[in-house]
Amino acid sequence: MAFTTVNPTTGKVEATFDQHTPAEVEALVERAARTFSTYRHTSFAERAGWMRAAADLYDAEQPDIARVLTTEMGKTFSAAKAEVAKCALCMRWYADHAEGYLADEVVESGAGRSFIRFEPLGPVLAVMPWNFPLWQVIRFAAPALMAGNVGLLKHASNVPQSALLIEDVFRRAGFPDGAFATLLVPSGDVAGLIADDRIVAVTLTGSEAAGRSVGEAAGKALKKCVLELGGSDPFVILASADVERAAQMAATARVLNNGQSCIAAKRFVVVDAVADRFIPKFIDAMAGLRVGDPFDTATDVGPLVSEAQRAEIASQVDDARKLGAVVACGGEVPDGVGWFYPPTVLTGVTPGMRAYEEELFGPVAIVEPVADIDEAIAVANRTTFGLGSSVWATDPEEQRRCIEEIEAGMVFVNAMVVSTPELPFGGIKRSGYGRELSHLGIREFCNAKSVWVA
């Protein structure tokens, strides 16, 4: 099997890489295990020095790295540069905070002295997606490496240049050989890697189907697993909302990363009291977005990652239309080269339509008017997913109710959902389990060892 970069703007093959052979994979896994035996004993100061050096490389080479991301999966060049900068920020965050996050935690007990010590586990396998080719990896790798673990990356098969780039930066930053390595292997090899006794844990960001597969393999091997899966995030506009600002941010939140983000707002739940004001503004904002070449600074929305991904989102819209939904804007596959799809707004989407039941991984929004806050919360929770949510209200009581009653791993009030190293990132229900980022994320792949000294 070859790993190929196909430019979604042109449909042309940009680069091809050979799959690692079984012997090469064995050598990389064995090297990771050997490296861990010494790397785990390096100091926080040493790891922080290497991590800051890697962040410096991302900053210094930002345009070149961003160009790889845009070429491989189609995000706008400005978004790609922002992703590179965010990775550097995260790396410096953990360089600064890892030692404090993992400091011994003293516990009062009947012992003369008792505390919790956080120790690294070993080689961790990361199975990562294409939509944020750098950020998804770094938000695992920065805390894991700072904790004293080593990483093995099985990246999405359509972003091989990004995968190899990440390994190269860690190597050039001074991390020991084997501290981080990319495995160019197909998805079918993941279960075998998880079963390998030298790999102690696995983390996956991806689809619900991928999460089930990885979770099953990790369960059979009795290994720690963190799953960050899909989302159908509600964007709730209540009676006290700043409607003008909410409408503008709603469009931005929907087309984040060309609409291909697990935390992009997908369902826009608006109470009747402000629906007549919000809905036309939102439709106008979506219709006014410019679709085109992701390297053009005037472009708001680039192509979808692949022809298959565009066909999937188009079929979801067509299904809704046939079953009675109204396409308020967009909804047609454009002519020409590249896998573009216009920002689209659907109204009248009901249970039984694919757009209602499935995650929409493209620039397509559902607008759902509701009577009041009670119905808004009920509709927000009427999904199998539970990743993020965005609530727009200035009334403290409306804010309180949504914070307490919306079923999600994250609630953002008067802001779109983002990931940031200070706060834990993850979901509930079919959006997965475990957390990335913050002090919780770095502890996911640590042994919380209880120590009792009589």
Q: Which positions are annotated as active-site residues?
A: 228, 262
Cβ 201 vs Cβ 400: under 8 Å: no
Q: Outline where DSSP puts E strands in 382-440.
A: 385-386, 390-392, 412-413, 428-429, 432-433
Three-state DSSP state, 26: helix
Q: Are strands 364-370 and 265-271 parallel, antiparallel or unpaired?
A: parallel
H/E stretch holding 224 reads strand 224-228
- Positive or negative, the Cα torsion across 385, 422, 167, 73? positive
Closest to 425 in 3D by CA, of 397, 385, 374, 388:
388
Cβ 329 vs Cβ 301: under 8 Å: no
Phi, psi of 276 (to 5 degrees): -65, -25
CA dist 271 to 46, 76, 115, 276, 374, Å? 54, 33, 50, 10, 10
Contacts of 294 (CB under 8 A, 6+ apart): 9, 70, 74, 75, 76, 77, 80, 302, 303
Q: Rounded to whole angstroms, how far apart are CA atoms 231 and 234?
A: 9
Q: Which two tokens stand for residue 341?
A: 């799809």
